[in-house]
Amino acid sequence: MELTTEQLQHVENYLYHKKFDFIDLKVEVLDHMISDIESLLTKNYSFENAFKITVLKWEKHFRETSSFFFGFQYSDSKIVVKNAVKMFKPFYFLYLTAYLLPVIILKSFSFVFSKNTQDFLSEFLFFASLIALLYMLFIIVKTIQTKVKTTYRFILKTQYLAVIFLIIPLLLGNHFNDQGELNPVFTGLLSGGFAVTYICHHFYKKHLEAIKKHKIS
């Protein structure tokens, strides 16, 4: 049994009062709730009772929660965080690998570079980290300016502090010790910074695609 226009508006109002305005999830959640209500209507429930039962079922999904993957200082509706974790988890392990692998390799093996190579690599890493930092700042500013909520925007928000992984190597300048070896910790930080830049680039593109898909300016 299909809902009337007035009944559909009633369901939409519920999401509005819950401040659930994530454009990439709202339509899907609305469809699920409508389907639940329609299913109950076929069992001879009144719309009022079917709506109350459905709201009770979905209430837990709108409770504010956080996740280990983003840090407990970042929280939102359970359904948003759960969806964000599902998308972000592979990238989380990419980030860890990007940081830990250079540290493990450089601590396990000795790579001594000549002075000319040191100068070249230091200059290259400086400009690479500077470009990555500027791009990260661009993404942060542009994402904040859109003000349109998506799961991708939530993920991006949790990554803003990661710019520190690019700032630290920039401030240090020299990536080598007195023996001509790359510093394992700072190289790991820089590698992690590059990984986070890629991660933010990926989710920023997804954020823009979601806005375009839903035709929101």
Q: Tens of pLDDT along 2-37?
A: 899 999 999 999 999 998 999 999 999 999 999 999
The residues spanned by each domain of the chain are 5-62, 66-213
pTM of the model: 0.90
- For residue 75, the surrounding DSSP H or E stretch is strand 71-77
Q: Tens of pLDDT along 161-196?
A: 999 999 988 887 678 888 899 989 889 999 999 999
Q: Please check the confidence at residue 51 and state whether its pLDDT lies above 80.
A: yes
Name residue 174's amino acid.
N
Query: Dihedral of the CA atoms 61, 62, 68, 73 (nearest 10)?
Result: -170
Tokens of 179: 């023996």
Q: How confident is residue 214, by pLDDT bands cut at 50, 70 and 90?
A: confident
